[in-house]
Chain A
Amino acid sequence: MAQAKADKYQQPDERGHFGQFGGQFVAETLMEPLHELRLAYEKYMLDKDFLAELDWELQQYVGRPSPLYFAERWSRELGGAKIYLKREDLNHTGAHKVNNTVGQALLAKRMGKTRIIAETGAGQHGVASATVAARLGLECVVYMGAEDIQRQAANVYRMKLLGATVVPVTAGSATLKDALNEAMRDWVTNIDNTFYIIGTVAGPHPYPAMVRDFQTIIGREAREQIQKHEGRLPDALVACVGGGSNAIGLFHPFIDDTDVAIYGVEAAGHGLDSGQHAAPLCAGQPGVLHGNRTYLMEDKNGQIIHTHSISAGLDYPGVGPEHAWLKDSGRVQYVAIDDDEALQAFHDLTRIEGIIPALESSHALAYASKLAPTMDKDQIIIVNLSGRGDKDIHTVAGLQGISV
């Protein structure tokens, strides 16, 4: 028994390290609040009442389980493996983000916090946070880069409708990473009553592990569903990786199944050689940012550099530390898809399956469309369709010179 346990994938260690990655690289004022958060999280993840409440919310409010849908026409057209889509786009608020915000907001309530803050890039995590804040009667402040506010006006309005305060961040590059800096500054100032809901599997321990644990519902369901549909495990998993929460959510329950190949898809933007991308695992190097050690996009002096992706949700210079670990350990292969390839997949899925995918998820779809033809017809790929594309239609229309 002890032997079996030792073989099982078990990360991070007690202090939040995934090998050399992860950890708690924060200003001193945050060390004690992080300690309290870790204790609360460890306590409630074993608490029957809490878990029952979380289950109920996921079922009744989020709409879980999300279907595992066989994309039959698209698979046939690609002429290879069968592609299944894990339909996180059908969740309330339209993406996987809500799995985590529901979990953290319930935790905030148990901890007696009355105010939640969040950072957001594309606005999906901000909307998901504002949504649960409204549902639970908590004050909500969302930090968003001024640049992103311009790009995502509809989501900004949505958050305001839900009662959240959206604070524009003009510092630095005025995008997601700067919104995260600003949320940290708010937290350090208001730690007594405030809970910081980080939207991805990055940040200081316990966030990468905690957000993962709230997102593994994706992989646990997919595992059960594929066995029901096909009577066996898939041959490959594919998910897009920005910070990496939807990916780790799908991957984690399959890590010990070594026959399942796993692919994480980063944003190659204008191409990895152009330097204008958001692919730290494919083209970055290890460093320390936002509370953890991980792969980063940085210059030779250790300054964080600007990223580019057509998808705002992948436009981030870092990545969750567990992905850094899974890359170095070789368990997951990280690849990159550029803007044009993602856009092609966006149109293909829309036309062939009648599903408009988020531009983030389109990166995963594009890689699956390359992979499927290299596999046999009886093989199976599961792609995480992490969000719906309604939020992106302005971007896509704009590229076609159409204003909607």
Chain B
Amino acid sequence: MSRIETRFKQRAQEKRTLLIPYFTAGDPNLATAVPMMHAMVQAGADLIELGVPFSDPMAEGPVIQKAMERALMHDVSLHDVLDTVKEFRRQDTETPVILMGYLNPVEIMGYAEFARAAHEAGVDGLLTVDIPPEEAEDYVRELEAQGIDRVFLISPTTTDERIRTINAASAGFLYYVSLKGVTGAGNLDINAVQDRVSNIRALTDLPVGVGFGIKDAKSAAQIGSVADAVVVGSAVVKCIEENVDNADNAINAVSELLSSMRQALDKK
């Protein structure tokens, strides 16, 4: 059983919703990445989504775009991100870590080489924004061979037929993008999300996480009542952006946000 599967099973038994924070490796700097991850776990994160910087992040809103630009100013590469996870694993062997990014850095490294290095570093899954399952045959095969889970997105525009295709290529969990738009956008329609999530559940045995538009404890609790996991990206990155010159303050701000979300999720 993969670390991701184990974690979802545990939390399901405890009837707790997973809290999945996102941040970009290298933002505000690379040295902060590992302490940030440990602090996130301390504040109640169940799984960490670690962003791999890319020069052309087409699906991101301005907050995460700027985070990636800050990381790229330090030339943070996919190799650096893998080293970060390896370092994190020296102290934490239980919290699952997935990488989130765009295909080109993985493509340049080569799928097989990436999968081998990711396995060795202790990475549990990969979410690549710009590879739909239709293009992912080799990608899925190489990741599967090294036991790396494939997390794909499902959007408000995804048809039932494609949900089945996505489900077949996925492992770990499915990630429902709750809005048409980029990360950090708009306001959530909780009823629409609820309908979609139950629709997805009917077509899969995998757990369903929901992301996009979760800003605070209140929206986390609302989404947490219908999903197995809530993913918080831009709100976390905003805490970093506001404390970009002081890494300790950035870590504290993120911890505070996540603690409030953790409490709200566990209250229900």
- Mark A residues whose CB is within 8 Å of B: 15, 23-29, 31-33, 171-172, 177-178, 181, 184-185, 188-192, 287-291, 293, 296, 298, 300-305
Contact B59 A188, beta carbon cutoff 8 Å:
yes
Main secondary structure on A side of the interface with B: mixed
Nearest chain B CB to A229 CB, angstrom units: 45
The 3 A-B pairs at the shortest CB distance, nearest first, are namely A302-B108, A302-B105, A29-B155
- B152 to chain A: closest residue by CB: A28
List, in ascending order, chain A residues with CB within 8 A of B247's CB. none
Binary A-proximity of B49-86 (CB < 8 A = 1, otherwise 0)? 00001111111111001000100100001110000000
Residue B131 at the chain A interface, CB threshold 8 Å: yes
Main secondary structure on B side of the interface with A: loop
Q: Indicate whether A303 sits within 8 Å of B158 (C-beta atoms), given known contacts A28-B177, A288-B107, A298-B108.
A: no
Nearest chain B CB to A373 CB, angstrom units: 41
Q: Indicate whether A27 sits within 8 Å of B104 (C-beta atoms), given known contacts A181-B58, A185-B61, A290-B58.
A: no
Given contacts A289-B56, A290-B56, 18 further A-B contacts (CB under 8 A): A25-B103, A25-B135, A27-B129, A28-B132, A31-B155, A32-B155, A32-B162, A171-B62, A171-B69, A172-B56, A181-B57, A181-B58, A185-B59, A188-B181, A288-B104, A301-B78, A302-B78, A303-B54
Nearest chain A CB to B226 CB, angstrom units: 19
Residue B192 at the chain A interface, CB threshold 8 Å: no
- A303 to chain B: closest residue by CB: B55
Contact A181 B56, beta carbon cutoff 8 Å:
yes
Residue B157 at the chain A interface, CB threshold 8 Å: yes
Give 29 pairs: A residue, B residue, CB < 8 Å, sorted on A: A15-B134, A25-B132, A27-B59, A28-B132, A28-B157, A29-B59, A29-B153, A29-B180, A29-B181, A171-B62, A172-B55, A172-B65, A178-B56, A181-B57, A185-B59, A185-B60, A185-B61, A188-B180, A189-B180, A189-B182, A190-B180, A300-B108, A301-B77, A301-B108, A302-B78, A302-B105, A302-B108, A303-B53, A303-B55
Compute how far the CA of A293 lies from the CA of B104 in the bound complex, rounded to whole angstroms. 9
- A26 to chain B: closest residue by CB: B130
Task: Return the contact of B158 from the options A28, A189, A296, A301 (Cβ within 8 A).
Answer: A28
Residue B106 at the chain A interface, CB threshold 8 Å: yes
Nearest chain B CB to A195 CB, angstrom units: 15
Restricting to B77-133, which residues have a CB under 8 Å from any CB of A? Answer: 77-79, 102-109, 129-132
List, in ascending order, chain A residues with CB within 8 A of B10's CB. none
List, in ascending order, chain B residues with CB within 8 A of A185's CB. 58-61, 181-182
Q: Indicate whether A287 sits within 8 Å of B104 (C-beta atoms), given known contacts A27-B153, A191-B180.
A: yes
Compute how far the CA of A32 lies from the CA of B166 in the bound complex, rounded to whole angstroms. 13
List, in ascending order, chain A residues with CB within 8 A of B60's CB. 185
Q: Indicate whether A302 sits within 8 Å of B104 (C-beta atoms), given known contacts A27-B153, A29-B177, A189-B181.
A: yes
Contact B159 A304, beta carbon cutoff 8 Å:
no
Compute how far the CA of A184 lies from the CA of B61 in the bound complex, rounded to whole angstroms. 11
Restricting to B141-166, which residues have a CB under 8 Å from any CB of A? Answer: 152-159, 162, 166
Nearest chain B CB to A190 CB, angstrom units: 8
Residue B185 at the chain A interface, CB threshold 8 Å: yes
Compute how far the CA of A190 lies from the CA of B59 in the bound complex, rounded to whole angstroms. 13
Nearest chain B CB to A175 CB, angstrom units: 11
Task: Return the contact of B109 from the options A189, A289, A296, A302 (Cβ within 8 A).
Answer: A302
